[in-house]
Amino acid sequence: MSGGGERVRVLRGREWARPVRPARREVLSVLPELEQGRPPLLFVPGFGHGAWAFAEHWLEHAAGRGFPAYALSLRGHGGSEPAPEATLRAYTHDVTQVAAGLPRQAVLVGHGAGALVVRHALARYPARAAVLVAPVLGEWGTLGAALRRNPGGTLPALVGGGLRLSRRQLFSRELPDAEARRYAARIGRAGRRAQWQLLTHRDPEPAVGHPPVLVLGSPDDRVVPPAALTRAARRHGGAPLLFPGMGHDLMLDARWREPIDAILDWLEKEHTPA
C-alpha cells in the first residue's frame, strides 16, 4: 500500500455531518480524435495556478498521444468560483468530484501543492494511477527553502497574507522573459486557511485501490528541494524522475515536453498487461 501512516478510516462522522459546499468548477479538456481505450488524465494545478497552466501545452500533448486530458481549477482559482475560505478538504472534494464525473477511472496528476491535494484525494477515490509533479507536500523543509529563496513572497503568507512565488522560482532562464512574465501575472492565490494547512494538515489516509505512484521534478526547482522529492518518491516505493535545468512549473517551462512524455511513457508501461 502506498503512502500514509494511518489506517483506512471507515467511520467518517465529521465528514458526513458537514459535507463540503458545492462550488462551480472550471474543467478544461482536450480529447483524442479517436478513443483508444487509454485512461483519462486529470491534472490538478497547485496553489495559485488554474487549469490554464495545463491548457498551455500538456492537455494538447497528452490528447495527441491518445489520452483524454482534463484539467480543473480548484475553487478560488482560475475560472472556478471564488472561495477565499477554502480548506484543503474542499480542494480534495473538488478533485474527487471531477474525477468521479469522468467517464472512466482516471489517473490523477497533481503539481506543486496540487500533489498534496491528490494524495488526500487518493484516499477518497480509487485512481488508476497517480503522478506527483514537483510535489509540495507541506513539509517544514519546503517552507525553509521558500523562506531562503523568496523571503518577500513567503513571509506575508505566514501572517495570513498570500503566498507569492517569484518568476525565478517557477521557471528556468530558458523560458523567454515575456512568457515568464505573462504566466506569473496569471498566478493567483490559494485560500488562507488552505495555505496554513500545508503545514498543519494531517498525513493523508492510505490510498484506496493500490494505485501506482510516480514522482517527478527538477533538481533545480527553487520551490521543492531535491531532498523533498526523494522523500516523496521513497514514500511510494520509488525514486523520483529528474529533469535538470527546469523550474518548478514543469508544464510551462521551456522544455515542457520532456516531463509529460515521461509521464505518458510510464502510464503506457504501467497499463500494458505483463
Which residues contact other proteins (rule: CB under 8 A)? 7-22, 93, 96-97, 100-105, 124-126, 208-210
Q: Could you tell me the smallest distance in angstroms from the CB atom of residue 23 to other proteins? A: 8
3-state secondary structure at position 29: strand
Q: Could you tell me the smallest distance in angstroms from the CB atom of residue 170 to other proteins? A: 32
Q: Could you tell me the smallest distance in angstroms from the CB atom of residue 36 to other proteins? A: 15
Q: Could you tell me the smallest distance in angstroms from the CB atom of residue 86 to other proteins? A: 14
Q: Which conformational region is residue 129 in: left (phi greater than 0), alpha (psi within -120 to 50 degrees), or beta? A: beta
- Closer CB to other proteins, 210 or 257, in the complex: 210
Residues 6+ apart with CB under 8 A from 141: 225, 227, 228
- Closer CB to other proteins, 14 or 185, in the complex: 14
Strands 26-30 and 107-111: unpaired
Q: Could you tell me the smallest distance in angstroms from the CB atom of residue 249 to other proteins? A: 29
CB 120 within 8 A of CB 88: yes
Q: Which conformational region is residue 119 in: left (phi greater than 0), alpha (psi within -120 to 50 degrees), or beta? A: alpha
Separation between Cα atoms, residue 100 and residue 87, nearest integer Å: 20
CA 117 to chain centre: 7
